[in-house]
Amino acid sequence: MMSTHDAPSLSSTSGARRAPASFDAWRAGQRHHARLPVIAVAGTRGKSTVVRMVDHIFRSAGLKTCIWTDDGVETNGLFADGELAPWAGAMRDLASGTLDVAIQELDWQTVRAVGLPQGAFPILAVTNLCGNSDACLAHWDARVALDAYPSVLSSLAPGGYLVVNAEDYAVAGPAEARYPDAFFVGQSREAPLLKRHLEAGYRGAWVEGERLTVGSTEGSRTPLCRVDALDFALQGAAAFEVMNALLASAIAISAGISSAQVSTALSSFGDAGRLLPGSFNLFRLHDRLAVVERPLPSWFLRPVLRALTTRRRGRMIALLAGVADGSDDDLIEVGRLIGRTSDALVVAGDGMRADQWERVKQGVALNDLVPVMFKAPDQEDAIRRAMKMARPEDTMLFISHRPGPILDMLQADETGEDEALTRALIA
């Protein structure tokens, strides 16, 4: 394992700041300014995944970590009882040096309600807000995020590193105006805002030549791991997961982790035993692929379906046990998207209200080819139906407000630890 002392600095140009020479150097800088090494990650989608990716990178580098996400507080991968007391304990451990770094997930609603201390975080990252969707920007959640975003930006410490999604204009625009030397992240260096940022000599991260890449100008690029090494991103088919990996890379490098350590850790992230209830969880079940997601509005569901359609070999079987709160129009669009990409749709009767199902069904019917639909009384019966239907090479997409039982069943099937459970579910 490489030492945290040997991380090379990114070359500096007219606009770019150097990355810290090592993690120890970055942490020493925080102590010099009487700041704790706490990294914050905000966003509407993907922030929990980015937090866990960064945590995996740090722990792979031999660092002791604590994270606080929607799931609770974890220290070195172990969940704590409660949240406020363990987090306060982590802050004491950071101050004493028995803990190396902490990563906190920021929630838009909480930030808008209680605010954030100004200048608190030496590294701040923002994954997205709406992904340039006009429908999203009109949604109540987006208005909350827009109201909270100025407070989030104000929480960056003086001289700190800001990492943002350069492809979401609602995120990148205010960030560029306030912090022109922010670390911009995009799928392609030709994305307008990222291209302009790089041409000005500032830092960025993007995909080039099938590799994650960080740098600024043409002469200072540093290649990271290959995109097809990211199993959790379906070898690149899940573009939103590639973006998460780029954001995590930018955060880790801003904290002095070497490019080699970042590459190695990201390549093993899919094997890290991570479960993100409600996020893009992948399971390879012998000759089938299963994905567990939370209910999403159409603007976030679309890239998930696009990723699965890109890699599918057999049929697509969708299980719908919940929908995101939204307008009737968006529920219709959700139904249209699922109906367009699925060969069979199993609906859990206890997953949504009757009026929501009517809107979804209306959307499904808008397609020229309508999937075979089955209505199950509850989620458990819906799981049985979906599992029974699955053939070799099929893809199963489970969308549920209660992903826990599905995750438990799929994890047991994937590891082979409890074949009796799977047999019972599909009997």
Task: Give the CATH number for residue 403.
Answer: 3.90.190.20
Q: Which residue has the higher pLDDT, 277 or 142?
A: 142
Q: How confident is the model at residue 102 (pLDDT cuts 50, 70, 90)?
A: very high
What is the Rg, in whole angstroms, of the alpha carbon atoms belonging to the chain? 22
Mean pLDDT of 239-262: 97
Query: 174-186: per-residue pLDDT in tens?
Result: 999 999 999 999 9
- How high is the mean pLDDT of the chain? 90
Asked if 302 and 257 sit in the same domain, the reply is no
Cα–Cα distance measured from residue 394 to residue 315, given in angstroms and rounded to the nearest whole number: 5
Query: 43-64: per-residue pLDDT in tens?
Result: 999 999 999 999 999 999 999 9
Asked if 259 and 348 sit in the same domain, the reply is no
Residue 276 confidence (pLDDT):
65
Asked if 340 and 207 sit in the same domain, the reply is no
Q: Which residue has the higher pLDDT, 251 or 280?
A: 251
- Asked, for residue 345, whether it belongs to a domain, the answer is yes
Asked if 252 and 313 sit in the same domain, the reply is no
Q: Which of 204, 239, 271 is the C-terminal boundary of a domain?
A: 271
Residue 407 confidence (pLDDT):
86
Residue 65 confidence (pLDDT):
98
Q: Which of 327, 325, 345, 230 is nearest to 280 (CA)?
A: 230
pLDDT at 162 exceeding the cut of 90 = yes
Number of domains present in the structure of the chain: 2
Q: For the chain, what percent of residues have pLDDT higher than 70?
A: 90
- Asked, for residue 17, whether it belongs to a domain, the answer is no
- Asked, for residue 84, whether it belongs to a domain, the answer is yes
Rounded to a whole number of angstroms, the distance between the first and last alpha carbons of the chain is 47
Q: Which of 206, 237, 271 is the C-terminal boundary of a domain?
A: 271
- The DSSP output letter for 402 is -
- Asked, for residue 18, whether it belongs to a domain, the answer is no
Mean pLDDT of 221-239: 94
**Both structure tokens of 396:** 């199963």
Strand partners, 185: 165, 205
Asked if 179 and 327 sit in the same domain, the reply is no
Asked if 371 and 302 sit in the same domain, the reply is yes
pLDDT at 244 exceeding the cut of 90 = yes
pLDDT at 16 exceeding the cut of 60 = yes
Name every residue whose Cβ is closer than 8 Å to that of residue 132 and which is 6 or more positions away in sequence: 167, 168, 169, 170
Residue 236 confidence (pLDDT):
93
Mean pLDDT of 162-171: 96
Expressed as residue numbers, the domain containing 218 is 23-271
Asked if 304 and 188 sit in the same domain, the reply is no
Residue 278 confidence (pLDDT):
60
Q: Report the CATH number at residue 148.
A: 3.40.1190.10
Query: 289-319: per-residue pLDDT in tens?
Result: 999 999 999 999 999 999 999 877 899 999 9
- Asked, for residue 187, whether it belongs to a domain, the answer is yes
Identity of the residue numbered 276:
L
In contact, 267 and 197? CB cutoff 8 Å: no
Cα–Cα distance measured from residue 284 to residue 415, given in angstroms and rounded to the nearest whole number: 10
Asked if 308 and 233 sit in the same domain, the reply is no
Range scoring the smallest mean pLDDT among 133-137, 183-187, 271-275, 315-319: 271-275
Query: 378-395: per-residue pLDDT in tens?
Result: 999 999 999 999 999 999
Asked if 289 and 267 sit in the same domain, the reply is no
Asked if 223 and 364 sit in the same domain, the reply is no
Q: How confident is the model at residue 286 (pLDDT cuts 50, 70, 90)?
A: confident
Asked if 248 and 316 sit in the same domain, the reply is no
Other beta carbons less than 10 A from residue 31's beta carbon: 13
Q: Which residue has the higher pLDDT, 141 or 43?
A: 43
- Asked, for residue 33, whether it belongs to a domain, the answer is yes
- Asked, for residue 11, whether it belongs to a domain, the answer is no
- The DSSP output letter for 115 is -
- Asked, for residue 3, whether it belongs to a domain, the answer is no
Asked if 203 and 321 sit in the same domain, the reply is no
pTM over 0.85: yes
Q: Which of 271, 306, 339 is the C-terminal boundary of a domain?
A: 271
